[in-house]
Structure 1
């Protein structure tokens, strides 16, 4: 598969910003105040390993008209200048007495006003990357109302551009190939931790930038949970080995799992795996423009319940995907999100069929005008066996 070009053109960012500004105006915002790395990167293209340092806050202001404005520590100015952003305002940081707050305040207050409101990362699946005390200080002194902008931000980011989808497709293919090769690289008696180390190395060799997320869990006939591990447990005959990965390429995640039988497959595990494979098919087929997330949930839940599920501690059957491992929406009753073209979704049916014995499937898809398009390589219908 051809490697997508890293980064995005100025035209791509202009397109994102223009669309965002229409959505902002509809939500009644004169600007968005962004602090979190995915949101900053989405609008500017700026990325840095320095995000690991919490010492300095970083701000991007997206006005209702015109290009975004970067209000950042001066240490980041040379790299920000390599992006499409032209208006870069800096301060000498760290400066606990005034860590960019007065500069940020004057930047926001200088913008044209129509609604008198600014949206910030205050809601669903969002987090402020600035001290809460300073955010409250800004909110109390700003000449505009600082309100929850998360619904607006997610409406912007849930719909991907074709270039974003190409990035996600590429990392999905890398991880798919590594999953397929894994049984030939491991054997009974190895630890979960050693298996994960081998898979991480293979995914990196194939072209991934990082693998921030890779839980691996094993257990006789199934697993009790899917978010922790790996541990030092050795895989044994009769186990199910579950591995999930969130690996990245140029800032975009894949997120899907694979299951392996160790030595042999029990009749119960075969039955449940088959039911989940069919539920995945149904979930994929249901994810079409005009449907709702509830419809996708129902398509999978009908099959899972008929197969004798006694529970599913995941709490949902899939979610959005992009610059974060998990994004809105959620496939669950009551979510009610309308599925539209160019969303990227995970399809993730799972079922506990006996106490402490759960199996989960997951694939990644893009929604097109003609229906869902698989971004991962489909899991085999029969469980791969590790000898």
Structure 2
């Protein structure tokens, strides 16, 4: 399949995302938003740097003022050259000369309440608290959980391309031999195929054969796959900065009636979850639709995780498709629908597609056959 690189996002794209964040903050009664290195910063500015940096880098978004990125002087050049830099004012600080928190403090309103990126280092939050003790802070995930949840058209194009690349990897791996090879061998094949079809980053390649398939997050190991095994494959990563994540369950040699029945139940549940996707439905409506199928078949206690998670610049992000999440679905949201049944000591089955909310329902971004494929 073609692996053409999409055009980069523009400064205007980032300005609109930051403006939307400011509007959301104001609607939530916040004085602003403070964004540390990580996925929120990538989404809002296009600036990607290691999240584990000990030097303060902080995007400050507040109503009535231009966005400001506080950045170490030694990294200011990279920030200025980043795609979103024209949408920002840079305020740099120098090692050994400036207190970075004193540089950031004048950007905060005394007494203001700010949402702070969930992955902000405690070191940095404590430094801000010392420099501006009158400000108050709350977790961004609590205050604005849907900040990155609604994707624009260009983001959806990238997510669709990532899904298509993961689908191509699945189609290719079906051609390979499973029996007599280890889970790690197949996981290695999946990772290589994801890269072949354009992924710059592989986040996970779960391969759970036989009883290992009953562990939803099993790490591919040295177990040799044998004739008669069910094999759960869950894999994904980032292509052009946006995530893929798909799961298919295959059988080596051909299933027993009992194995086929469990797979049929999961397939029906997954379809029911996708059918429940529409604007105005809630996240828990989708979870309930899938879960009811599995419960009615007598396997309710064996579906042990949420039905899905959002995806974007990371492979797991809000919204979460789980009981108790009453967030209404909005056109442009994108998330997985991935019910499963896990029989301890025997096998597991999971089927997963990424689904985008459209004006009249849900659009699958993974289109490979969801039937139980038989492999050698």
Under a length normalisation based on structure 1, what TM-score does the superposition of the two structures give? 0.89
Q: Distance in 2 between matches of 1:78 and 1:6?
A: 22
Check conservation: 2:331, 2:358, Cα contact below 8 A.
Answer: yes
Check conservation: 1:7, 1:250, Cα contact below 8 A.
Answer: no
Report the RMSD for the aligned CA atoms in angstroms: 2.2
Q: Residues 252-298 of structure 1, C-alpha deviation per residue, up to 9 Å, x if partnerless?
A: 11122111111221221111111111111111110100111121112
Residue in structure 1 matched with residue 29 of structure 2 by the alignment: 28
Check conservation: 1:272, 1:353, Cα contact below 8 A.
Answer: no
Is it true that 1:158 corresponds to 2:149 in the alignment?
Answer: yes
Residue in structure 2 matched with residue 167 of structure 1 by the alignment: 158
Check conservation: 2:180, 2:224, Cα contact below 8 A.
Answer: yes
Q: Distance in 1 between matches of 2:98 and 2:204?
A: 36
Check conservation: 1:294, 1:336, Cα contact below 8 A.
Answer: yes
Check conservation: 1:312, 1:358, Cα contact below 8 A.
Answer: no
Check conservation: 1:23, 1:152, Cα contact below 8 A.
Answer: no
Residue in structure 1 matched with residue 262 of structure 2 by the alignment: 272
Residue in structure 2 matched with residue 108 of structure 1 by the alignment: 108
Q: Mapping of 1:30-69 within 5 angstroms?
A: 30-48=31-49, 51=50, 53-69=52-68
Q: CA deviation at 1:134?
A: 4.0
Q: Distance in 2 between matches of 1:47 and 1:154?
A: 21
Runs of 4+ in 1 over 4 A off after TM superposition: 353-356
Q: CA deviation at 1:314?
A: 4.0
Figure out how many residues of one structure are paired with residues of the other and give that number.
371
Q: CA deviation at 1:356?
A: 5.0
Under a length normalisation based on structure 2, what TM-score does the superposition of the two structures give? 0.91
Q: Residues 24-77 of structure 1, C-alpha deviation per residue, up to 9 Å, x if partnerless?
A: 1111122211114101111110124xx165433321111223442111122321
Distance 1:357 1:170, change over 3 A: same
Distance 1:52 1:64, change over 3 A: closer
Q: Mapping of 1:167-206 within 5 angstroms?
A: 167-206=158-197
What 5-or-longer segments of structure 2 have no aligned partner?
none
Q: 1:352 aligns with which of 308, 319, 342?
A: 342
Residue in structure 1 matched with residue 289 of structure 2 by the alignment: 299
Residue in structure 2 matched with residue 218 of structure 1 by the alignment: 209
Q: CA deviation at 1:229?
A: 1.2
Q: Secondary structure at the match of 2:227?
A: coil
Distance 1:99 1:235, change over 3 A: farther
